[in-house]
Amino acid sequence: MITNRRNFIYLLTAGTTAAFFGSVTKSSWATSVNTPDVFKLPPLTYDYNALEPHIDAATMKFHHDKHHAAYVKNLNVAVNKYPQLKTKTVEELLKNIDKLPKDIQTVVINNGGGHLNHSMYWQIMGPKGGGAPTGEIATAIKTQFGSFDTFKTQFNEAGTKLFGSGWVWLVRSKGQLKIVTTKNQDNPISQGSYPIMGNDVWEHAYYLNYQNRRPDYLSAWWNVINWTEVNQRFGKSLKA
């Protein structure tokens, strides 16, 4: 009788414990699945056709709504696997890429870089842009490159010569302004440089309007530069 009573208490306790841990496991799983995404697709602050004729509306629409949206989606999928990463900014993730779990490092480089690159790209363009730079960035460019025309020529040449897909950048590195290029969606921040401005030279950024004429796209792009935003980024680079 005592033995049966002990067996009953044991089975009751075991069943309660199993139910408890089962509920915790299910709750934790549900929380991880339903956790809202950290990274969001930033809306454009101007219409799709606002940059025409230099960048056409169709290119802007699928570039922003499809390509950039895909980078954001893939980045969220990666960090959702590791909830401790959801408190990190995309800049922090890219600066510390070697510290991330191995299975998501490449995903974060490609999609975190794609998200960061394009978020900047939309901001440094505008419908009333173009012309020569003004403010502190104008002075810095003249000091480093001699003149804006020289800088623009070197920037376009770097973008033209970049083989395959990637970006051409003006960065601040070790106190100096430099023109650099990166492959795919790599961002200079991963190499210790601060990106002040950059142009997307993936074919999807220009092919509908310019086909294989990348130099024409690079030349036209200067007509949509938002120098006010570039100046703000230059100021941040001095503090970075």
Give the pLDDT of residue 33.
47
Tell me which DSSP letter residue 213 carries.
-
pLDDT for residue 65 is more than 50 = yes
Give CA 124 to chain center in angstroms. Answer: 14
Give the pLDDT of residue 36.
78
139 and 90 in a common domain: no
Q: Count structural domains, the chain.
A: 2
Please tell me which of 13-17, 23-27, 51-55 the model is most confident about, judged by mean pLDDT.
51-55
**What CATH number does residue 78 fall under?**
1.10.287.990
pLDDT for residue 61 is more than 70 = yes
Is residue 222 left, alpha or beta, with left meaning phi > 0 and alpha meaning psi from -120 to 50?
alpha
216 and 140 in a common domain: yes
For residue 25, being part of any structural domain is answered with no
185 and 93 in a common domain: no
Q: Pull the structure tokens for residue 179.
A: 């023109």
112 and 86 in a common domain: yes
**Gap between the Cα atoms of 157 and 79, Å rounded:** 37
**What CATH number does residue 152 fall under?**
3.55.40.20
152 and 81 in a common domain: no
Find out whether 94 and 53 touch, Cβ atoms under 8 Å. no
pLDDT for residue 172 is more than 70 = yes
94 is in which domain, residue-wise? 57-123
Q: Pull the structure tokens for residue 14.
A: 């075991």
207 and 145 in a common domain: yes
Q: Kindly state the helix (H) or strand (E) to which residue 208 belongs, with its residue range.
A: helix 207-210
Find out whether 74 and 41 touch, Cβ atoms under 8 Å. no
> What SS3 state is found at 103?
helix
Which amino acid is present at 100? L
Q: Which residue in 142, 172, 179, 178 sits closest to 157, CA to CA?
A: 179
pLDDT for residue 240 is more than 80 = no
- DSSP string of 145-196, one letter each residue: HSSHHHHHHHHHHHHHH--SSEEEEEEEETTEEEEEEEETT--GGGGT-EEE
pLDDT tens per residue, range 101-147: 999 999 999 999 999 999 999 999 999 999 999 999 999 999 999 99
pLDDT for residue 91 is more than 50 = yes
Is residue 204 left, alpha or beta, with left meaning phi > 0 and alpha meaning psi from -120 to 50?
alpha
pLDDT for residue 168 is more than 50 = yes
The position carrying tokens 């991963």 is 190
